[in-house]
Amino acid sequence: MRNFLAVTASLFSLTFLGCNTAPAEQAPEPTPETAEQTQSLNATGTGCSADSECASGLCWVEADSYPLYNPYWIRADSCTEECGGPTDHAPCRIIAADLNAPAANSARCIPARGVYDDYPYDDIFYVCDLVAAGLGTVHWVE
């Protein structure tokens, strides 16, 4: 009986002294600030129809490189990058290899006429032909 009274008295005094045996509530974790979301763009080596769709800012289509690619027998497009000239194939092959292209060594630097959508002149640019490496989109014309 003495133990019962001692325990009761101890609990009673702890309650009045403000000692709470219940665990304290944890403060809610701060929520991270919402990052601005942007529309995802097509990666280099994927299909496209306009420069604005590509993360690289450059969409090549087969008509840009006529007669090397003839739009009467093939329709092709890919987000690509510029290269140095008709013998500068190494950077294109590195890009293709980094993208796990099935034929990375077939990537090449080819001429393209007025390849940028917003470029009003008919100048020659050089771009990586990633379609030859197996990247981009190809539609054979029947």
Segment 10-33, tens digit of pLDDT: 544 545 455 455 555 666 665 555
Single-letter residue type at 2: R
Single-letter residue type at 21: T
* Residue 132: closest CA among 94, 93, 98, 86: 93
Look at residue 25 in the predicted model and tell me its pLDDT: 63
CA distance 66 to 111: 9
pTM exceeds 0.85, yes or no: no
Output the average pLDDT for the chain: 82
Total residue count of the chain as it appears in this document: 142
Percentage of residues in the chain with pLDDT exceeding 70? 72
* Residue 43: closest CA among 34, 33, 53, 35: 53
Quick check: 2 pLDDT over 90?
no
CA distance 118 to 81: 16
Look at residue 40 in the predicted model and tell me its pLDDT: 77
Segment 46-59, tens digit of pLDDT: 999 999 999 999 99
Stretch (H or E) spanning 137: strand 137-140
Domain ranges for the chain: 51-140
- The count of C-alpha atoms lying within 13 angstroms of the C-alpha of 91, restricted to the half-sphere facing its C-beta, is 14
Which ranges of 53-135 would DSSP assign to H, the alpha helix? 90-98
